[in-house]
Structure 1
């Protein structure tokens, strides 16, 4: 690697066979490897017989490492950034570093590969045309519920990460906010020996997890169905139209539409257009 490039390299989330040929080529070719945990990454490199200088970049030292990385790149070195598992920056360190490197004018090259969020979505059986990733929720139940409340009417599929010592509490909070019937997929220990993927209502998932302590161990991805889209029923539309017709006999279009909206809960703009159409028909 003759260029000054920061490679963002995805590594396996469990099964080491998931590492890509390109990732191995990059790790063997760069001058330095920036790792979230050098001990963890050293084991990965040893497995693939790769011997490269390592230095740490984690949540507690990332800002301090920026100067070193920029200096190394300025001197012509190439660097690979890896996390403990999966794709760096996805609920892992690296944002501060990547932002600084790009602002300094150096190339940042992604080397895509495993990601627990994507793996869980692909097997969840829930809508994936639109989704939002929320990462780890707050550790305390009060903060967790508060954040979940903001997502109550989110129509997209939602993805969360959770740790084993909070999984039961988190599931209970999901049920408290979204109700027992919302569909949920729990993906545990993805690509590892004891991989489990459970799908059902939140209530069913809680029952299964509480009944088997083994399902409370490991790393979790929770994939929650979005809020069902609210469709106006035909009967409500008919009722709104009847109210609108009656009010139009006594009131101007704008006032009739506004008052109908208050009475029926239907959208004012749509009622206003409907009122104009009714008047033109008459």
Structure 2
């Protein structure tokens, strides 16, 4: 029996027109599917509505992927594909399987011999890196840094030292309501000549991307980052 294909469908980063962020072929593929494994069902329905899926949303099979899925969870979600049904994997925003539990589903799909097809779409991490002017030849994404202030500052110093040793751009994110604290920690902890890029609201009308040295950031008012999706990037010398 033919196995289905697992399509990795990028999700918009905010309420921008689908024509600006989703290639026509990707939108067409998403509209052809009726089974979806998603990080957040509400977000997925909103995205499928934005992509003008022809079927009533209530008729689609949309299943949430647990935050920490076990083997039985993954096998259950992949069972329709083993029976020949194609499926779409959707993150809450951006590219699926990058910094979300979808990676485990993709890994299990490979183990089951299911074809995995990544589709083109918005990635806040790559968009921020592209626009930062920092090193795009060597970079690393570190997810969330520690919440504890002392542990966070220690981790920032470690990442800065590693960046200087390897000329590596370090990327990380923060829960939006802690963005301002993260910015202040970077501004007070990093060396004056370290470059910091702050990329906010990517692909939205309120998008703002700015790269400055820490010394220069200290000379101006902090950007408005409260509760707004932001990517932070540093490159030390």
Instruction: Quickly name the TM-score band, shorter chain normalised.
Output: 0.7 to 0.9
The answer to whether the 8 Å contact 2:10/2:121 transfers is yes
What TM-score do you get using the length of structure 2 for normalisation? 0.84
Partner of 2:78: 70
Change (3 A) 1:208 1:72: farther
How far apart in 1 are the matches of 2:220 and 2:70? 39
Asked which structure has the greater RCO (Cα within 8 Å, sep 6+), the reply is 2
Stretches of 4+ aligned residues off by more than 3 angstroms = 60-64, 203-210
Does residue 222 (structure 1) correspond to residue 225 (structure 2)? The answer is no
Matches within 5 A, 1:104-183: 104-151=112-159, 152-154=161-163, 155-183=167-195
Does residue 21 (structure 1) correspond to residue 24 (structure 2)? The answer is yes
Structure 1 unpaired stretches of 5+: 229-282
How far apart in 1 are the matches of 2:142 and 2:47? 28
* Cα distance, 1:164 vs structure 2: 2.6
Q: Which has the larger radius of gyration?
A: 1
What TM-score do you get using the length of structure 1 for normalisation? 0.72
Partner of 2:36: 33
The answer to whether the 8 Å contact 1:10/1:113 transfers is yes
Does residue 202 (structure 1) correspond to residue 214 (structure 2)? The answer is yes
Give the aligned CA root-mean-square deviation in angstroms: 2.2
Higher helix share: 1
How far apart in 2 are the matches of 1:35 and 1:171? 31
Does residue 91 (structure 1) correspond to residue 99 (structure 2)? The answer is yes
Q: After superposing the two structures, state which structure 1 stretch, 188-197 or 26-35, moved more.
A: 26-35
Equivalent pairs counted in the alignment come to 224
Structure 2 unpaired stretches of 5+: none
Change (3 A) 1:209 1:58: farther
The answer to whether the 8 Å contact 1:9/1:87 transfers is yes
